[in-house]
A and B are shown apart, each in its own frame.
Chain A
Amino acid sequence: MKRTIFSNQLLPWLLLAPQLAITFIFFIWPAMQAVWQSFLREDAFGIRSTFVGLDNYARLWGSAEYMNSMQVTLIFSVSVTLLSMGFSLLLAVAVDRTLRSSRLYTTLLVWPYAVAPAVAGILWWFIFNPTIGILPYMLDQIGYDWNHISNPNQAMLLVVIASAWKQISYNFLFFVAGLQSIPASLREAAAIDGAGPVKRFFTITFPLLSPTTFFLMVVNIVYAMFETFAVIDSTTEGGPAQATNILVYKVYFDGFVGQNMGSSGAQSVILMLIVIVLTVIQFRWVEKKVAY
């Protein structure tokens, strides 16, 4: 990389200032506020707050509801990541095999990414609506009763599908680019070396895709943990009976609906730590395991 030497000490800081200001105002400042808030407890009317130390965290540790939310988040993010990545890899491999009209498929497959998460949520809410939705109607024809408003598993399935669907386009683009950067001669060499299409995929293509796969895994888990808020809010609102109340939704609900700012602050700090740890672990592992 080219290295530029500034004669003036001030200029580099000035050039960095807009980015630093944005990071500070929209990330560091609120994060610090959340940390501060997590040590306070407000009275019922929000008039006075008392410093309670780590009490908010201790209460969360003992809360069955919070532990449930942890578990729900784990199931939810793993399912969303697996479903969206698995499906987009399948589509990407299919497009990679079809040389002609692959541009058309690619364009069509990228469309869902342009849909806002809340709109995607509403869309799936309509499709799965137990009263007016087309899918419950069709499921009813084969004798299956779909009602995610009362059935926790079906509610989870709904938010997983809606969230994964949103992310497929993004994953798909990266997988296609990854597949196309693998030289055709490698697959041809493997074919001559006696590996059938399935073996070829698992011993050559998939290992060579691993940098893409790991990058997408980080992105998808972070997506599932944070950006799916709108999907949950527009479909199940965390229900029924807390079945889809993922951590990020609980932060919002406890803070802005339940007005329990201290607990909400503590929860967002924990969430922040989880993502930091996850990202560090994954990138460390990626560097060791994926480089070839």
Chain B
Amino acid sequence: MASINLDNVGKVYPGGTRAVEGVNIDIADGEFIVLVGPSGCGKSTLLRMVAGLEEITEGEVRIGDRVVNRVEPAERDIAMVFQNYALYPHMSVRKNLEYGLKNRGTSRAEIDRRVAEAAEILQIGPYLDRKPRALSGGQRQRVAMGRAIVREPAAFLFDEPLSNLDAKLRVAMRLEIKELQKRLRTTSLYVTHDQLEAMTLADRLVVLNGGRVEQIGTPLEVYRKPASAFVASFIGSPAMNLIPASAVPHLPGTGHAGLIGIRPEDLHPAPDGQIELKIDAVEELGATRLVHGKVGAEMVTVTMPSDAELPETLRLDVAPGAVHLFRKDGGARLT
């Protein structure tokens, strides 16, 4: 167990391409941190830099109290779960779990104890003597986690571990990972592009965009007070409506803002509402429905109960506290 500190970390590839810039993150011992962002935002690169699979070209990474910039991956006391699981296909599940321990010269008795324990936790006991190709996606995922657990490392690193699973299994494994981490209290760094996965797993979220940190905070902080228009549009589903302030001139308190953001669930039908929505399309989700339409020339989405009546134009109201204001240039939050 250990804390992880990223101090002004940056990555420039030999070709001159910049992947990561000026990242500062302090991860407390036992904390579950999720790095989230669109593809190409540098989140995987950042994780691989912590793992030691990518060279750190700027700044400093510390695991525990040790600067690990020049330390080999094997000596960083971390374990990693890969997107494609990276199980050794020519070894049985048991051998896969043992490999890292054998390389470190762990005693036979200790190896057996830890493998049995991991197999118990992950319920992979019956498959120990099978080869990975004889396992289903979910079972492979468990073995990959098992390989991390047996090492009893200072930190777990997850690189989109659930993205190869089908939707149902993904939700189930998400819960398992969360429970497992709660139980083991091992510091974890988790990369995903799925904002829902990020919201549900994280103690704190790190939202990345274009190689920079846009915001760090608990899931609810990030949801309620997005630090920029990018975070506002990325976190939350359906995405927050972002429209130029000029499109809704009657809305109070929006004076000097460039962009205003309103979540679809914060817009309510009201006979005297100041916003007029011309409905284009409706998506039924069962319990709720998404109503898409235009305010002036801007696309806006509203979440409504599925039993509400739908005229051709809706008058909508929004609570003052639910309006987010952003600068026009760069989209930084104003209030």
> Interface of A with B (CB < 8 Å)?
183, 185-186, 188-196, 199, 203-204, 207-208, 210, 292
Q: Are B84 and A193 in contact (CB under 8 A)?
A: no
A62 to B53, CA, bound (A): 64
Q: Are B74 and A191 in contact (CB under 8 A)?
A: yes
Residues of B within 8 A of A210 (CB): 90
Would A185 and B103 be within 8 Å (CB), given that A195-B74, A292-B133 are in contact? Answer: no
> Interface of B with A (CB < 8 Å)?
51-53, 72-74, 78-80, 82-84, 86, 88-90, 99-100, 103-104, 131, 133, 147, 151
B137–chain A nearest beta-carbon distance, Å: 16
Can you list 5 A-B contacts with CB-CB less than 8 angstroms, sorted by A residue number? A183-B86, A191-B53, A192-B73, A193-B74, A194-B103
Q: Are A186 and B90 in contact (CB under 8 A)?
A: no
Residues of A within 8 A of B72 (CB): 191
A75 to B52, CA, bound (A): 47
Would A192 and B51 be within 8 Å (CB), given that A183-B84, A204-B88 are in contact? Answer: yes
Residues of B within 8 A of A199 (CB): 103
A195 to B83, CA, bound (A): 21
Residue of A with least CB distance to B79:
A192
Q: Are A186 and B86 in contact (CB under 8 A)?
A: yes
Known: A185-B84, A192-B80, A292-B131. 17 other contacts (CB 8 A): A183-B84, A185-B86, A186-B88, A188-B80, A191-B72, A192-B74, A192-B78, A192-B79, A192-B100, A193-B74, A193-B99, A193-B100, A194-B74, A194-B104, A195-B74, A199-B103, A204-B88
Q: Are A188 and B99 in contact (CB under 8 A)?
A: no
Contact of A191 (CB < 8 Å), options: B73, B83, B88, B151? B73
Residues of A within 8 A of B104 (CB): 194
A37–chain B nearest beta-carbon distance, Å: 48
Residues of A within 8 A of B151 (CB): 193
Interchain pairs with CB closer than 8 A, number: 60
Contact of B82 (CB < 8 Å), options: A188, A194, A204, A207? A188
Residues of A within 8 A of B88 (CB): 186, 189-190, 204
Residues of B within 8 A of A203 (CB): 99
A102–chain B nearest beta-carbon distance, Å: 15
Residues of B within 8 A of A196 (CB): 74
A286–chain B nearest beta-carbon distance, Å: 14
A188 to B157, CA, bound (A): 13
A281–chain B nearest beta-carbon distance, Å: 22
Q: Are A207 and B86 in contact (CB under 8 A)?
A: no
Q: Are A188 and B100 in contact (CB under 8 A)?
A: no
A6–chain B nearest beta-carbon distance, Å: 36
Would A208 and B89 be within 8 Å (CB), given that A185-B84, A193-B103 are in contact? Answer: yes
A191 to B131, CA, bound (A): 21
A210 to B89, CA, bound (A): 12
A204 to B88, CA, bound (A): 7
A207 to B88, CA, bound (A): 10
A196 to B74, CA, bound (A): 8
Residues of B within 8 A of A183 (CB): 84, 86
Residues of A within 8 A of B51 (CB): 188, 192
Residues of B within 8 A of A189 (CB): 80, 82, 86, 88, 147
Would A185 and B82 be within 8 Å (CB), given that A191-B53, A191-B73 are in contact? Answer: yes
B187–chain A nearest beta-carbon distance, Å: 16
A207 to B131, CA, bound (A): 14
Contact of A207 (CB < 8 Å), options: B78, B90, B147? B90
A190 to B74, CA, bound (A): 9
Residues of A within 8 A of B131 (CB): 292
Residues of B within 8 A of A185 (CB): 82-84, 86
